[in-house]
Structure 1
Amino acid sequence: MDYSQFLYMKEELSLIAVIVLLLLFDLLAGEKGRKYFSLTACLLLGVHTLANLIPSAPAEIFGGMYYYTPMMTIVKSILSFGTLIVFLQAHTWLQREDTNIKQGEFYVLTLSTLLGMYFMIGSGNFLMFFIGLETASIPMAALVALDKYRHNSAEAGAKYILTAMFSSGLLLFGLSMIYGSCGTLYFNDIPAALEGNLMQILGFVFFFTGMGFKISLVPFHLWTADVYQGAPTTVTSYLSVISKGSAAFVLLTILTKVFGSMIAEWQAILYGVIIITITMANLFAVRQQNLKRFLAFSSISQAGYIMLGVIGGTAMSMTSLVYYVLVYVVANLAAFGIISIIEQRSGKIEMDDYNGLYMTNPKLSFIMTLALFSLAGIPPFAGFFSKIFIFMAAFKSGFYLLVFIALVNTVISLYYYLLVVKAMYINKNENPIATFKSDNYTKVSLAICLIGIVGLGLASIVYETINAFSYGL
């Protein structure tokens, strides 16, 4: 065996090293050293992210079980960057008396799920893919239930693990059908054996159903709001962004690489799923008063928009999907970061609690407003351009009516995002949330998100301007 092949898995090996170092720190640091756990975890993850920014040459190793492309480095870096922001925002929550002792478990479990996502992204075989999927899912259930004595966290953990088991069972059943009809699980070998027979179509339907649960697509979304509400807010933010982004990218890769010959079938399925996902999520989001449930339905709607980048199955679709995920990371984590710090300081999580927030905490209100504007797709913020790019990808693939329906739903989403803005700036409150100062970790995370929301928007304006002049010349 050529052990040099492992060098193509440098992101995975680097992340495993970070996990081992944090395990040792948890074992050896003691009570005094635990004060620096957040700093240590953030520094190690930051070094890991920066050290793996430079892509390598494309390669296929271990007989096709694992493969690598430069795009995977970009996606893994985005996921690591988002996880770093989550770690920064988790500091205040982890300093509580009942969670301080669990810092090691939180960081190791979170990075274990990230490692599973890495394996999913680089898999060239459905067996490798499933191992990565379960490596990402099982520790996530423990994270959801980590705060088991507060906010129905144990109930949320039970719902998540049961749903994950059910969806994994459906997905594995679909893979067994594909293996039975094709005789292989390798991505490169399956296309030659696909004939479009009933067993293969059923296998694909079960596979897509399992992935639909992971991404929270309607009608496989029913677990999402309850789990998001019951889980610790920091875990909810990680679940809503990082796992969703990785699953969407892997789904696009598998659809184009493995099921390319069945493009008519999976585009027809995605067509209906996208419409119902965006529409139903937007309608239910309007009714929510709990902000975590509100953002849960918002994330379901965003999953529908992300699928617009999947349905085309082109290089432009993949590029627009990756950019959309990057923008979604900074905007959604900014919103969750503010909800988390307010919940830790005041215990308030309902939309009515945010009435008059601008009078007592103007900076938080301002950042929350920009994050919601970006999620809604209002120019000149980054979310506007991410939606434009993903709409263009679907439009150029011929899905004109689908893009129109998505545009109409964007107006609906603007309405419910503005409900939060209205609460903070217009609605009066005789007893608003008291003024408080955020900790430095939260300030850094929100600053990063703010730079991303505004900076990516400005960069997109410059990019589009240069393109316009180029075409004009």
Structure 2
Amino acid sequence: MNDLFIILKQELVLTVIIFLLLTLKIGKERSNMAWLNLVNVLLAINFLGGFFFPQTGVLFSGMYHTSDLIILEKNILNLGTLIISMQSYNWLKDHKHVVEFYILLLSTLLGMFFMISAGNLLMLYLGLELSTIPLAAIANFDLEKRKSSEAAMKLIISSAFSSGMLLFGISLVYGTTGAISFEGIAAAVNGQPLQIFAFILLLAGFGFKISAVPFHLWTADVYEGAPVAVTSYLSVISKGAILFVLVPVLYTVFKPLAGNWYNMLFLLSVVTIIIGNLFAIRQDNFKRFLAFSSIAQVGFILVGITGSSQAGSSSVVYFVLIYIFSNLAAFGVVSFVSATTGRERISDYRGFHKTNPVLAWVLAIGLFSLAGVPPTAGFFGKFFLLLAGAGKGNYVLVTIAALNMIISLYYYLRIVKAIFMDANEQPIEPLTVPAFPKLALYICIAGIVFTGFVTYVHEYIQSLGTAF
């Protein structure tokens, strides 16, 4: 029983926080400031607690398993959630439903944890649904805005289609292999046509969740309509969790089909990078811009996954960590400016450096890292992804990805140019950043610098990986 509680520690702590918030909500009224202070402290305890008593093991006849790498992945998601919570301070301090927002948010995180630790397809699907349904609810948390309701509707409809395809694929896998456990499926997969069709359905379901082309059509509209905090969460935490699941599913469960899924990922990665880049160039709304930017980043991650190696697995985890810091640095500034002034267009940021130099530099560093400009951490993240992809010997794919990195420089530097060089007749006024958002931005900048310059981070992640 002690092992059960220790192995399930991260899920149990989240569950306790959710029930604590529910219980306190029923009690006496508290101000939004008090709730935000309490929740951020609880999330900080949750993050720090993830590093204590790390125990690996298998529970429930293999339905749930954990390893040192899985524990690290959950800690990365905990850190990202804490940063997003602190960045949401200005938006939530005047909101009527602060507690409800956090209950739904932590419920999605709990679902992601079960999904990452899943040992069979049924647990994977249940975790996926738990992480998706509350997410559609919080996408509609700007209750007075029609666009927010539209974003929630598009998210729930697209999620329903992707979940349906995923479930259909799971049923076909079970029908052709007679197993739902990952080990049983890996032993029974032999490459028959129906199994390949089932895998295509599964890959399409995952493709919707990570916004890979051509399953990306919901992304920009949902990102634009949802509150910036929810957009941040969708962009980094939700996608990161799906990628943490996709890698072991490909590398272990469907390893016998590696020749088939390599060709599929090759095509998906190329079109995802190209389409993401081309559409990002055309955007003026910052949230739509970051939506297409995130689509292009997924393409680079798929290049790393094609490596089918320990280097591929570790490079994905390393890049997701860097991506959380980089994207949340950009989203943190956009979130604060949006909550304070209501301005979300890239053209609004002309001359931003003159009125808000610190925020301007934070945004610029985040964009540099997303573009992969050395010496930021984003450069090293993309370098290891391309290196993992090159390990397969397909230099055509790596060359296409590298050329698209050059294209992405244009639209990232276009924003930096607007911030530092362009004039604006109505610039964003000087803003005073509260303590929580300021701390979140400092954590992001420190993360961008630390993960890039300290080689131990990548070496540690690589040491936790398993050779496939």
* Residues 37 and 57 of structure 1, relative CA distance in 2, 3 Å threshold: closer
RMSD: 1.5
* Residues 92 and 427 of structure 1, relative CA distance in 2, 3 Å threshold: same
Distance in structure 2 (CA, Å) of the matches to 1:26 and 1:64: 36
Distance in structure 2 (CA, Å) of the matches to 1:9 and 1:31: 31
Distance in structure 1 (CA, Å) of the matches to 2:146 and 2:433: 22
Distance in structure 2 (CA, Å) of the matches to 1:131 and 1:433: 45
The question of whether the paired residues in 2 share the 8 Å contact of 1:285 and 1:294 is answered with yes
Q: What is the TM-score with the length of structure 1 in the denominator? A: 0.95
Structure 1 unaligned regions, length at least 5: 465-473
1:243 to 230, 235, 238: 238
The question of whether the paired residues in 2 share the 8 Å contact of 1:385 and 1:460 is answered with no
Distance in structure 2 (CA, Å) of the matches to 1:11 and 1:345: 34
Match of 1:84 in 2: 82
Distance in structure 2 (CA, Å) of the matches to 1:461 and 1:353: 40
Is residue 421 of structure 1 aligned with residue 416 of structure 2? yes
1:57 positional shift: 4.5
Match of 1:375 in 2: 370
Distance in structure 2 (CA, Å) of the matches to 1:335 and 1:463: 23
Is residue 121 of structure 1 aligned with residue 120 of structure 2? no
Match of 1:392 in 2: 387
Higher relative contact order (CA 8 A, sep 6+): 2
Distance in structure 2 (CA, Å) of the matches to 1:75 and 1:318: 12
Match of 2:141 in 1: 146
* Residues 195 and 461 of structure 1, relative CA distance in 2, 3 Å threshold: closer
Give aligned-pair identity as a percent.
45
Match of 1:5 in 2: 4
Q: Deviations over 1:41-97 (max 9, x none)?
A: 11111111111114635422211111111100110000000000000011110112x
Is residue 194 of structure 1 aligned with residue 189 of structure 2? yes
* Residues 105 and 205 of structure 1, relative CA distance in 2, 3 Å threshold: same
Q: Which runs of structure 2 are paired with 1:326-405 in the superposition (5 Å)?
A: 326-405=321-400
Distance in structure 1 (CA, Å) of the matches to 2:427 and 2:28: 41
Which is worse superposed, 59-68 or 356-365?
59-68
Match of 2:466 in 1: none
Distance in structure 1 (CA, Å) of the matches to 2:55 and 2:437: 37
Q: What is the TM-score with the length of structure 2 in the denominator? A: 0.96
Is residue 317 of structure 1 aligned with residue 316 of structure 2? no
The question of whether the paired residues in 2 share the 8 Å contact of 1:114 and 1:136 is answered with yes
The question of whether the paired residues in 2 share the 8 Å contact of 1:112 and 1:136 is answered with yes
Distance in structure 2 (CA, Å) of the matches to 1:26 and 1:323: 38
The question of whether the paired residues in 2 share the 8 Å contact of 1:54 and 1:73 is answered with no
Distance in structure 1 (CA, Å) of the matches to 2:190 and 2:280: 41
1:461 positional shift: 9.7
Distance in structure 2 (CA, Å) of the matches to 1:68 and 1:453: 28
* Residues 462 and 340 of structure 1, relative CA distance in 2, 3 Å threshold: closer
Q: Which runs of structure 2 are paired with 1:258-337 in the superposition (5 Å)?
A: 258-337=253-332
1:171 to 166, 172, 175: 166
The question of whether the paired residues in 2 share the 8 Å contact of 1:144 and 1:157 is answered with yes
Match of 2:46, as an amino acid? H
The question of whether the paired residues in 1 share the 8 Å contact of 2:56 and 2:68 is answered with yes
Match of 2:97 in 1: 102
1:399 positional shift: 2.4
Distance in structure 2 (CA, Å) of the matches to 1:461 and 1:325: 16
Distance in structure 1 (CA, Å) of the matches to 2:39 and 2:444: 19
* Residues 216 and 463 of structure 1, relative CA distance in 2, 3 Å threshold: closer
Distance in structure 2 (CA, Å) of the matches to 1:177 and 1:302: 31
Match of 1:25 in 2: 24
Match of 1:467 in 2: none
